[in-house]
Chains A and B, each alone.
Chain A
């Protein structure tokens, strides 16, 4: 397959994740959308790395995957913390900054 096939696939998955991130009400659902977007970016990194014959992109993918794991753990800890204070996971109800 050509590089453009991989880039197109990654673009479709990224836009799916973007759609999920902006439309989901549940904060865990929003996190799932962010996961999809990060995944799409990793596909791009690996594809460019393979087609350019440069392994640095794959190293960057490894870093991105590890950082994503830390991000998910902290994000879910924040979600659990929000529950304790507000008893909800709906992003619509987390509006303390609204004037």
Chain B
């Protein structure tokens, strides 16, 4: 086995294990920390796909930003309510049935699909190519995204403003 295969399986096992802990754990705060591990493992999966820039964005924005915001929200809300951090699941049988059925459907489609066996050789600097694409072909969505982030920032701060 090559290093790439070992790395893929290691990251995949960590990702699935952490994902199970996210959806099944009793402690909400622990679930968020497991989600952070899952997101970092996803960044590792991106590395096995030679997408180092995406992996860096994943760690910075997701594992850094999202997890910080979620932890902040848990701290604020639990202090307001003063309950324990425990949480429970309901309708486990129905939820598991839906999830397993969808998984079977997806796996069947993947097994039947005609896919290319091996990726083409990496063609130079991915970060440079992504930067060029972002500022040429995708410059309009890029600027719209900046507006969206501004609107999201203003909206979130408006919702969470102090009570009058």
Give me the interface of A with B, judged by CB distance under 8 Å: 1-9, 11-20, 22-26, 28-29, 31-33, 35-36, 39, 42-43, 46-47, 49-53, 55-56, 58-59, 61-63, 65-74, 76-81, 83-84, 87-89, 92
Min distance, Cβ A15 to any Cβ of chain B, angstroms: 4
* C-alpha gap A36/B76 in the complex (Å): 23
Contact-residue size bin, chain B (C-beta under 8 Å from the other chain): 35 or more
* C-alpha gap A16/B35 in the complex (Å): 12
Cβ contact of A39, chosen from B39, B115, B129, cutoff 8 A:
B39
Min distance, Cβ B101 to any Cβ of chain A, angstroms: 9
Cβ contact of B81, chosen from A7, A18, A76, A87, cutoff 8 A:
A87
Q: Are A25 and B54 in contact (CB under 8 A)?
A: no
* C-alpha gap A52/B76 in the complex (Å): 45
Q: Please give, as numbers and ranges, the residues of chain A lying within 8 Å of B12 by CB-CB distance.
A: 5, 9
